[in-house]
Structures are given as structure tokens and as C-alpha cells.
């Protein structure tokens, strides 16, 4: 009996407890059926664990994307830049559009910070660098955005912000990673919803949108509509308004 007790105590002390980060990851993941969340967690960890947190390139997440690939959702895919709260305020209430944060990988990692350390098997959530180019969080969002844009099809929607002077910001992930990956004829059109809040600084006539048109592969139709934020909220709260007539 003494040996059994010693063995149990030893076993408990040797087994690493699940970190809060891993628990969050797994519990968010388990909301999605048809995925082996332990496998997804292992594929995620191999990208950054035991590495210098400034040496995690975008490609480090290739095995993660392969373990949890994005499914095309033709005519319902929503992209955004500087409008995260408006977009998710809407997509949370209505089933009209799907954003990256509505997919397994996007929802599991949204709002989280993580990194590894050379010589350690652990995941850290504080003191993670975000200023060096190849940091684990930025590299993930670039890789995931690329993979999500790669499966875009049909009529694609993007919410941009009329509250900035450059709604199509050439340094954004939307501009650098997503727009150039939309391929005709798989993608038929890109439809910009310009979110107009009070004291708006720009609208669909903004010069940066000319650059967006030019960046689109030829064969993809472009449109832009100025839509007051209140209209987006109204459509979010009134299920009797059909998705296609929201704006």
C-alpha cells in the first residue's frame, strides 16, 4: 500500500497540469464537432514551443492549418479591416456571414497571446514580444488570414472603416494578405461595406479604394456601399430583415 501511495504521488507531481491557456484552447475547440482537439493543440504547439519567440515564421503554422483546414462558405465570407467590433457585433446575432473568428482556429485563438521560450516545453501568455516581425501571434494571424482568403468563393464581403483616413490601408492584413489571394472566377465579386460612424473621415469615394480595385485580380467585380453603423446594428437585431437586404 505504501508503494502504491508513493507511486500515485510521484505520478501526480510528474504530470504537468494543463495550463489555463491549454484549457481555454481545448474548451473553445470542443464547441466544434468533427475535430480532434488534442491533435489540433499538438499541431498548434509545434509552431512556437521551445523556440525563440522572435523566430516563429508564418510557415511554422502550416501543419496547424493542415490539421484544421478552412471550409469554403461561398457567398457568405466576410473580411474586415479596423471594424472588428462592428463586424462581430453583427455576425454574433445573425447567421448572414462567416468571419475567420467563426471558424475553429479563428475562434480558438481570438484575443489570446502566446509564445514559447528556447529550452522550455511551456506556453507563456505574458512577456510575449509583438514588435519583432516573426512573433508567434502575428505570424498566426497572417497564416490563418491567407488560408481563409485562399478558400474564398462567390460574392465576398468586406467591412472597412469610414472612421479612418485610409480605409484600404496598404499595411493591413486585409490588403497585404487577403485581397491579392481572391481568384477569379472562383471569387465573383468583392463588395465593400463602408461603415459610416458619426464624424466619418472617409467613404466609398476615398482614393485608397482605387488601390483596392487595382489590387483585385481582373475578372472580380468590385462594389462599395456607404452604410451607417446604425443600419448594421438594426439588421443585427431584426431577424425579419433578410440578409441580402441588410444594406
| Residues at the site binding ligand N1C, with contacts judged by CB under 6 A | 79-82, 84, 100-101, 106, 110, 138, 141, 145, 148, 172-174, 178
Q: What Å distances lie between residue 108 and 4, 65, 70, CA to CA? A: 39, 13, 14
Catalytic residue among 29, 37, 54, 74: 74
* 153 carries an active-site annotation: yes
* 115 carries an active-site annotation: no
Catalytic residue among 96, 115, 132, 153: 153
User: Is the Cβ of residue 141 or residue 247 nearer to ligand N1C in the bound state?
Assistant: 141
- Ranges of H-type helices in the chain: 2-14, 20-29, 37-45, 62-67, 84-93, 104-109, 136-150, 173, 208-215, 229-237
Cis omega (within 30 of 0) for bond into 22: no
Smallest separation (angstroms) from ligand N1C to the CB of 3:
51
User: Is the Cβ of residue 79 or residue 97 nearer to ligand N1C in the bound state?
Assistant: 79
* Three-state DSSP state, 121: coil
Smallest separation (angstroms) from ligand N1C to the CB of 231:
21
Smallest separation (angstroms) from ligand N1C to the CB of 103:
9
User: Is the Cβ of residue 18 or residue 225 nearer to ligand N1C in the bound state?
Assistant: 225
- Rg value, the chain, Cα: 21
Smallest separation (angstroms) from ligand N1C to the CB of 88:
9
Phi-psi region of 210 (alpha: psi -120 to 50; beta: other; left: phi over 0): alpha
Q: Which residues are catalytic?
A: 74, 153
Amino acid at each position: 500500500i505504501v508503494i502504491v501511495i508513493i507511486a500515485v504521488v510521484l505520478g501526480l507531481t510528474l504530470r504537468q497540469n494543463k495550463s489555463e491557456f491549454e484549457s481555454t484552447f481545448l474548451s473553445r475547440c470542443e464547441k466544434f464537432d468533427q475535430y480532434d482537439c488534442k491533435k489540433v493543440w499538438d499541431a498548434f504547439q509545434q509552431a512556437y514551443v521551445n523556440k525563440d519567440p522572435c523566430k516563429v515564421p508564418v510557415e511554422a503554422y502550416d501543419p496547424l492549418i493542415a490539421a484544421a483546414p478552412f471550409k469554403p462558405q461561398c457567398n457568405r465570407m466576410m473580411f474586415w479591416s479596423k471594424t472588428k467590433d462592428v463586424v462581430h457585433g453583427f455576425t454574433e446575432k445573425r447567421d448572414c456571414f462567416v468571419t475567420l473568428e467563426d471558424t475553429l482556429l479563428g475562434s480558438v485563438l481570438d484575443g489570446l497571446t502566446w509564445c514559447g521560450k528556447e529550452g522550455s516545453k511551456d506556453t507563456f501568455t505574458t512577456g510575449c514580444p509583438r514588435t519583432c516581425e516573426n512573433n508567434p501571434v502575428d505570424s498566426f494571424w497572417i497564416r490563418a488570414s491567407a488560408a481563409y482568403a485562399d478558400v474564398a468563393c462567390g460574392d465576398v464581403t468586406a467591412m472597412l472603416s469610414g472612421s479612418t483616413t485610409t480605409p484600404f490601408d496598404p499595411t493591413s492584413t486585409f490588403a497585404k494578405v487577403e485581397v491579392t489571394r481572391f481568384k477569379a472566377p472562383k471569387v465573383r465579386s468583392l463588395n465593400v461595406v463602408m461603415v459610416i460612424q458619426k464624424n466619418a473621415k472617409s467613404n466609398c469615394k476615398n482614393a485608397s479604394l482605387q488601390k483596392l480595385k487595382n489590387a483585385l485580380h481582373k475578372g472580380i467585380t468590385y462594389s462599395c456601399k456607404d452604410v451607417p453603423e446604425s443600419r448594421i446594428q438594426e439588421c443585427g437585431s431584426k431577424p425579419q430583415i433578410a440578409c441580402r437586404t441588410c444594406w
